[in-house]
């Protein structure tokens, strides 16, 4: 599963809008929006926050798979 699909699935399972999810992770709405649109890839630091969020909310999330997806993707990295 692509990271963008994973982000969308996490938001659906937690019933959060992009804005609310951004607040939960302490990132900008535009950052989450770019993740959803495959314009930006979460950095490892942010992936850890996503992993913690999922663990807290009992949502399956495999950070190893996301890292592999990130390494194989040519989209520009989050700054």
pLDDT in tens, 44-64: 889 889 999 999 999 988 766
Q: Decide if pLDDT at 2 tops 80.
A: no
pLDDT in tens, 9-41: 999 999 999 999 999 999 999 999 999 999 998
Q: In terms of Cα–Cα distance, which of 55, 49, 60, 58 is closest to 24?
A: 49
Which CATH code, of 3.40.366.10, 3.30.565.10, 1.10.260.40, 3.40.630.10, is assigned to 3-71?
1.10.260.40
The pLDDT confidence band at residue 66, using thresholds 50, 70 and 90, is low
Contact call for residues 53 and 24 (beta carbons, < 8 A): yes
| Domain boundaries along the sequence of the chain | 3-71
């Amino acid at each position: 599963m692509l990271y963008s699909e994973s982000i969308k699935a996490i938001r659906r399972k937690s019933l959060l809008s992009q804005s609310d999810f951004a607040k939960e992770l302490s990132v900008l709405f535009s950052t989450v929006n770019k993740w959803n649109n495959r314009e930006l890839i979460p950095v490892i630091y942010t992936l850890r926050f996503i992993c913690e969020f999922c663990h807290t909310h009992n949502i399956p999330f495999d950070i190893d798979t996301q890292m592999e997806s990130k390494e194989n993707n040519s989209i520009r990295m989050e700054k």
